[in-house]
Homo-oligomer: A and B are copies of this chain.
Amino acid sequence: MIDIREILLPNIPDDKEREEISKITEILISGIRRILSRDGIEATPVLVGSTAKHTNLKNADIDIFMVFDRKYTERQMESIGLRIGHEVLPDGTERYAEHPYVSGHINGRKIDIVPCFKIEKNTKIISSVDRTPLHTEYVLTHLDEKRRNDVLALKLFMKSIGVYGSEIRVQGFSGYVCELLVINFGSFQKVLEKFSSQKGQLIIPETTALAAKYSSPVIIEDPTDSSRNAAAAISMENYSIMKIESRLFLHSPSQSFFMKPDQEKPLPYVERGTCARIIILPRPDLVDDVIYSQAQRAKKILVEHIVNLGFHYIDSDIYVGDRIEIIIETEAAQLPAVKKHIGPPVDTPNSMAFIMKWKDVKSIRGPYVCDDRICVDAPSGIRDIDTAISSALSSASIGKNLDRVKGEARIIDPSGSNASYMVLGKFYSRRIRL
């Protein structure tokens, strides 16, 4: 048997860290309160996030929200919020989620100061961050001290297998979803038992109304807002990984399921007898979520383009860091010189038009009849993968922000290079934790 507390010990804050967090929080909240009263602003600073709910792992961020009265306009709230943020975090820089906010550091710990509007349970929000204080309140009143350790174990487990985090880069389970799972099923063990035996979607609470309303693999009705699926970010792949890993853990529990995952590191090319190309783009100055979803979309468009040309796609991946790296793997770098066009069925009037067209066009063979269709072997247009990717980059839009930098794209054949690439490290390490 695994002793959860023993595993948690090195991963959760010790007394010293807890004291430090309290102190920083107190200083920040009292500082903000002072500014608010000095300037006559109707708003309340609130500690939210994992440190507020006591479900924080070591070195967690401190998130302080300033909950504004609804009499302010959105622009007022935002500009006042930013001003106060900068005042309490002298090294702070502005970030943008749905509202702009200030992010900085105190004693090396990341601090976010985020403005939001005050809302009541199940009322219309203006921005999704407005809900955060309600989440904190819900978890504080529904999760007793004993079960906080279960949440921490679940978070560690999910981090280890790579499904923790609701950001687009991960598309996994948020901290709030971990808390809701433990509140709902009762313990870390019971959450894993549920996943290990679950077939198809997971729906909480299990009603047909919810099943009809959402199509996501995991549906968890947000207790603070019945119109929201708190688990909407979770991809089918991450849900499947969680099922598999829960089964593997219950089958033979081991500490390794709580170990830090390997750091992403660059790797040189490994021969797989395939064709690989890495497309490298400069990173536009935008937050991860935006870049990541655009890079995903760019990858999808490039893959569709080369598949339409006839290349046999094997796999692809992206890495977003200082730059964007997209890898695309196909069976071969070169297409045949001939491409079979399957034309219309002979029973349709189009078949005659097809024949008349190809009769005068240079074809390699045909037109001929296959079964009930008219076909022709035409010369392939683009035959090599580099031209195919270049043409996709120049002809297709790969997203608003990436289009602006695509002129600087480089297409690299990693098999002919000694360099290492972050995306190769990610690509080769695709493996469940065993």
Contacts and interface: CB of A to CB of B under 8 A. Distances in A.
A364 B243 CA distance: 24
A387 to B, nearest CB: 15
A383 to B, nearest CB: 7
Contact of A240 (B272, B355, B371): B371
A273 B315 contact: no
A27 interface: no
Interface in A410-434: 428, 430-432, 434
B365 A236 contact: no
A432 B237 contact: no
Interface stretch (A173-181, A332-340, A397-405): A332-340
A200 interface: yes
Nearest to A332: B332
A167 to B, nearest CB: 19
A380 B431 contact: no
- Copies of this chain present in the complex amount to 2
A431 B367 contact: yes
Contacts of A371: 236-237, 240
A296 interface: no
B434 A355 contact: yes
A314 B338 contact: yes
Interface in A190-215: 198-200
A312 interface: yes
A160 B233 CA distance: 65
B273 A351 contact: no
Contacts of A320: none
Contacts of A365: 428, 430-431
Contacts of A337: 271-274
A431 to B, nearest CB: 6
Contacts of A331: 312, 332, 335-336
Contact of A347 (B200, B273, B369, B432): B200
A374 B336 CA distance: 32
A241 interface: yes
A266 interface: no
The interface centre, meaning the residue of A248, A346, A359 with most chain B CB atoms within 10 A of its CB, is A346
Interface string A320-358: 000000000001101111101000001100011001000
A236 B372 CA distance: 6
B314 A241 contact: no
A340 B430 CA distance: 13
A272 B364 contact: yes
A347 B430 contact: no
B374 A244 contact: yes
A240 B372 CA distance: 6
B359 A434 contact: yes
A369 B237 contact: yes
A244 B359 CA distance: 14
A248 B355 contact: yes
A355 B374 CA distance: 46
A283 interface: no
A427 to B, nearest CB: 8
10 contacts: A237-B370, A272-B364, A273-B335, A274-B338, A314-B338, A331-B332, A332-B332, A359-B434, A367-B431, A367-B434
